[in-house]
Structure 1
């Protein structure tokens, strides 16, 4: 079995991150994206593979084959892959990543306070289970 092309790693206990996953699922009927919580075994294995910190759950990671994108760049690549009207937002990639990531960091640092958190990672419904890596 080949590794999926687009794997989205997210903070599994973050309500905002879980909403982002639901947003992507709703707009990805073809199932281009697979998902793994950063805290999961699959998420930790991918972080290790790319030499990324295994304890930093403030980052949004998109793995595309043998490459990866972090933070705002990951988000923009997700929108581009979703296609349709969402790919229009990819033009924001023209802004310098430090500027984009500064805005990303402001949200990431306060996401638990603003959006809340859960005690455990989300459990996908049986229909969506195949979209999540363990």
Structure 2
């Protein structure tokens, strides 16, 4: 069963992250739900995250939920190949990793920009998006 990544569909950095994953996730291990959509919003709420003020990255996989840097590292390792080296990031304590991630999340629009609408997948990728 594919994991589900909930992402900010209007965030330029987040959209680049999704495009990166679409390119390197050759086994199609992940599906995507924009937090602005019905599925993404309900998944955030179901896991105690505010869909109107999301500062968290959410990965749902194998019946569990991961957030922030734990989710990012898990996704990268899940890509396989050289991306598995991202596992070394687990050596950095979460109490250091997650605050750095939150600074990035709070400033993502200012630093990387914002789109007027969510990323639209091409015809070959549409099945990987929940909304």
Name the TM-score, length of structure 2 as normaliser.
Answer: 0.93
Runs of 5+ unmatched residues, structure 2? none
- 2-structure distance, mates of 1:51, 1:71: 13
Report runs of 4+ in structure 1 exceeding 3 Å deviation.
Answer: none
Q: How far apart, in 1, do the equivalents of 2:2 and 2:31 lie?
A: 8
1:97-117 deviation per Cα after TM superposition (whole angstroms, max 9, x unaligned): 120011111211221111100
State how many pairs are aligned: 131
Task: Pick from 50, 63, 67 the counterpart of residue 66 of structure 1.
Answer: 63
Deviations 1:11-38 (A, max 9, x none): 0100000000011110012211100111
For the 8 Å contact 2:69–2:94, the answer to whether it is kept is yes
- Find the aligned partners of 1:37 and 1:77 in 2 and give their Cα distance: 19
Q: Within 2, Cα distance between the matches of 1:6 and 1:99? A: 26
In 2, distance between residues paired with 1:39 and 1:59? 14
Residue segments in structure 1 that go unaligned for 5+ positions in a row: none
Q: CA deviation at 1:118?
A: 0.6
Counterparts of 2:129 and 2:106, CA distance in 1? 25
TM-score (norm 1): 0.91
